[in-house]
Amino acid sequence: MAKASAIANANIALVKYWGKRNKELMLPQTGSISMTTEGLNAHTTVEFDPKYREDILILNGKEYGKGDEEYDDYVGLFLKVVREKYPEKAKDLKVKIVSNNNFPTAAGLASSAAGFAALAAAVNEALKLGLREKELSMLARRGSGSATRSIHAGFVEWHRGENEDGSDCYAEQLFPPEHWPEFRLVIAVTTKKDKKVKSRAGMSQSVANSPYYKAWRDDVIPKHIETIRKALGEKDFKALGEAAETNALMMHAVAIATTPPVIYWNAGTMDIVHAVMDWRDQGLECYFTIDGGPQVKVLCLEKDSKEIAKRIRGFPNIEDIIITRPGQGVKITKEHLF
Ligand code: PMV
């Protein structure tokens, strides 16, 4: 039976990925570093079977197919890659995919990362492709760039690679979750609504015309990759937090300077950004990072996470608060969704 299920966690970038050098192969302009979260997951079941006449995609209870962006621009493209790469296994078979996230989709909580990591792993298992972690990270990349990092547990680096065919572009673990179990992200969800500009479109425009893109790619990223790798290795929270926060601000500076502008922040985002800087001045150790959406992720250590969550709860524009820690990589599960 060509049916399998997988669970993958979202990841949050400490050094952001913002821009591709090859859109078809999903090759990034730069490397990036992330933390795989615990408990913010996508659970996905796939079944390849001749009984299906068309691909069926059900995301969080809603059905999508040809003509819908979710299928045409994302899952359908990914399936095309799978069918081209493994024609003997998948070319003539349609698939049913059911996937559920346990956190807000498309609002800067890396739902596509968790979703495509789970989908790649489930497809690998169902079709018996025999891909190991490195190859699996390369397959997940074809669905969504950041998904390449969600294959692995803990702290993860996605290598830009040099080859035009993407053969050296993959993610690998830097440190397992046990390396820094006290590390926490307190996520302030400032809205659960879908974002207006998808990361894919936003970053593509930034590469095309942001006047700051070259500095981001050539100066900022190489420096931050070195700093964050070292800070993670030494568990130097201050060095890590400072670099991660600056990196996020610089990514958003690149995005905001794009034409048309890509602005992900809302009033709630700004409240928490200012608060984190104030709290830090008062001696509470915390930093923030923000992705392609309005949520603020506050970096802190376990000892301060409850106090930070309590303070965030006091703001008017907060819809939810999630505390997460370094988590597991993708796993196959026997629990099928249909
Ligand atoms: O993989 P995508 O297309 O969802 O892009 C992710 C982009 C950011 O979340 C903003 C940064 C990152 O490295 O995850």
293 lines ligand 1 (CB under 6 A): no
d(CA 338, CA 328): 24
Percent of the chain surpassing pLDDT 90: 91
The string of pLDDT tens digits covering residues 240-268 is: 999 999 999 999 999 999 999 999 999 99
Same domain? For 116 and 165 the reply is yes
At 113-151, the pLDDT tens digits run 999 999 999 999 999 999 999 999 999 999 999 999 999
Q: Residue 17: CB within 6 Å of ligand 1?
A: yes
Average pLDDT over residues 272-284: 98
Instruction: Give the Å distance between the CA of 158 and the centre of ligand 1.
Output: 12
Residue 62 lies in a domain: yes
How far apart are the CA of 157 and the centre of ligand 1, in A? 13
Residues 99 and 197 in one domain: no
Is residue 32 scored above 90 in pLDDT? Answer: yes
Of 17, 35, 210, which is best to mutate to test ligand 1, by the most ligand atoms within 8 angstroms of its C-beta?
17
Q: In this predicted structure, what is the pLDDT of residue 153? A: 98
Of the residues 130, 148, 177, the one at which a domain ends: 177
| Angle subtended at Cα 282 by Cα 276 and Cα 288, rounded to the nearest 5 degrees | 20
CB atoms under 10 Å from CB of 13, counted, come to 26
Q: Enter the pTM of the model.
A: 0.96
Length of the chain as a residue count: 338
Same domain, 169 and 189: no
Residue 235 half-sphere exposure, CB side, CA atoms within 13 Å? 11
Domain count across the chain: 2
Whether 87 and 159 map to the same domain: the answer is yes
* Domain end marker among 177, 201, 236: 177
Return the ligand 1 atom nearest residue 12 CA: 14
56-59 and 95-101 as β-strands: parallel, antiparallel, unpaired? parallel
In the reported structure, the alpha carbon of residue 110 is separated from the centroid of ligand 1 by a whole-number distance in angstroms of 7
Question: Do 100 and 41 share a structural domain?
Answer: yes
Per-residue pLDDT, averaged over 182-200, amounts to 89
Mean of all residue pLDDT scores within the chain: 95
331 inside domain: no
Same domain? For 97 and 204 the reply is no
- Rounded Cα distance, 259 and 202, in Å: 10
Asked whether 292 lines ligand 1 (CB < 6 A), one says yes
CATH code (residue 287): 3.30.70.890
Is the Cβ–Cβ distance between 243 and 221 less than 8 Å?
Answer: no
In a domain, 333, yes or no: no
- In ligand 1, the atom with minimum distance to the C-alpha of 293 is 10
Evaluate whether residue 338 is within a structural domain.
no
Residue 326 DSSP class: B
Picking from 210, 216, 2, 180, the residue whose alpha carbon sits closest to that of residue 90 is 2
> 112 CB less than 6 Å from ligand 1?
yes
Whole-number Å distance, alpha carbon 50 to ligand 1 midpoint, is 35
Indicate the pLDDT class of residue 195, thresholds 50, 70 and 90.
confident
Among 30, 35, 199, which residue has the most ligand 1 atoms within 8 Å of its CB, making it the best to mutate? 199
pLDDT tens for 68-89 read: 988 999 999 999 999 999 999 9
**Residue minimizing CA distance to atom 6 of ligand 1:** 146
From ligand 1's centre to the CA of 144, what distance in Å?
8
Mutate to test the pocket of ligand 1, among 291, 295, 297 (most ligand atoms within 8 A of CB): 291
Q: Which residues of 219-249 are buried (b: 16+ CB within 10 A; e: fewer)?
A: ebbeebbebbbebbeeeebeebbebbbbbbe
pLDDT above 90 (res 307): yes
**Which of 133, 155, 177 marks a domain boundary?**
177
Is residue 73 classed as helix, strand or coil in its secondary structure? Answer: helix
Instruction: Please determine, for residue 107, whether its predicted confidence score (pLDDT) is greater than 60.
Output: no
Contact 272, 296 (CB under 8 A): yes
Residue 330 within any structural domain of the chain: no
> Do 142 and 253 fall within a single domain?
no
Helices of type H across 145-283: 147-150, 199-209, 213-215, 221-234, 237-256, 267-281
Look up the domain containing 31 and give its range: 2-177
Residue 213 shares a structural domain with residue 96 = no
Look up tokens 């913002």; give the residue.
18
Question: The domain spanning residue 102 has which CATH number?
Answer: 3.30.230.10
